[in-house]
Amino acid sequence: MIDSISYLSLLITPLFILGAVLYGFFRKVRVYDSFVAGAKEGPRVVLNIFPYLLAILVAIKGFQASGAFDFLKNGFYQLFSFLDIPIEVISISFIKPLSGSASTAMFTDIVKTTGPDSMATKMSAVIIGSAETTFYVLAVYLGAVNIKNSRYLVPVCLIGDVIGVVVAIMAARYLYH
């Protein structure tokens, strides 16, 4: 069974590409020309979203370097200490919406310092898998389509992140205690 699933997983990408080409062929679309036209747009899109990506990266580094991250982390740890949530979990909860690579690096550090079977590692792993890099995604998508006024988008996404983290912590406690 595992061998057949492994074999099938190797075929998914080529079958998807073949399916897209066949779909285009039967719909009388010039597939190669469409691909080239899309590839030509790639550098323009990168140039359009680069300022937004740079702004979010500078904001993240400033947040960390200013000490605001540690201040928030410690404050929330004190506030929720009665829930017995490891401080590492609070750290990953703050970093995940900001940066996927920073949260992956932090997760690696959590595994190294607390061990692979610790509750901090398990909760952090569930958070990594269930939360989104909200600010990065918003910077890329809103920058790509030139939306300047996001109005309710950021608060709604952050509420979704908080709900995701709370559910991840509850799920990890339920599954691993």
Whether 143 and 52 have beta carbons less than 8 Å apart is answered as: yes
Q: With b meaning 16 or more CB within 10 Å and e meaning fewer, what string describes 61-79? A: eebbeeeebeeebeebbee
* The pLDDT value given to residue 81: 79
pLDDT tens across the length of the chain (177 residues): 667 778 888 889 899 999 999 999 999 999 889 889 988 988 888 888 788 778 877 887 888 789 888 898 888 888 877 888 898 898 898 888 888 888 888 899 999 999 999 999 999 999 998 888 888 788 777 777 777 777 788 888 889 999 999 999 999 999 987
* The pLDDT value given to residue 1: 62
Position 126: which residue type?
A: V
DSSP letters spanning 88-104: HHHHHHHHTTT-HHHHH
Q: Report the distance separating Cα 34 and Cα 44, nearest Å.
A: 16
Q: Does the CA dihedral 62-66-67-72 come out positive or negative?
A: negative
Is the overall model pTM greater than 0.85, yes or no?
A: no
* The pLDDT value given to residue 127: 92
Q: Which residues, other chains included, contact 169 with Cβ-Cβ below 8 Å and sequence gap of 6+?
A: 85, 89, 123, 126, 127
* The pLDDT value given to residue 2: 65
CB atoms within 10 A of CB 175: 9
* The pLDDT value given to residue 167: 93
Q: Which residue in 108, 78, 103 sits closest to 91, CA to CA?
A: 103
Rounded to the nearest 10 degrees, what angle do helices 100-114 and 119-130 cross at?
A: 160
> If DSSP codes are grouped into helix, strand and coil, which group holds residue 27?
coil
165 to 95, 118, 147: CA distances (angstroms): 12, 18, 28
Q: Which residue in 113, 80, 115, 111 sits closest to 94, CA to CA?
A: 80
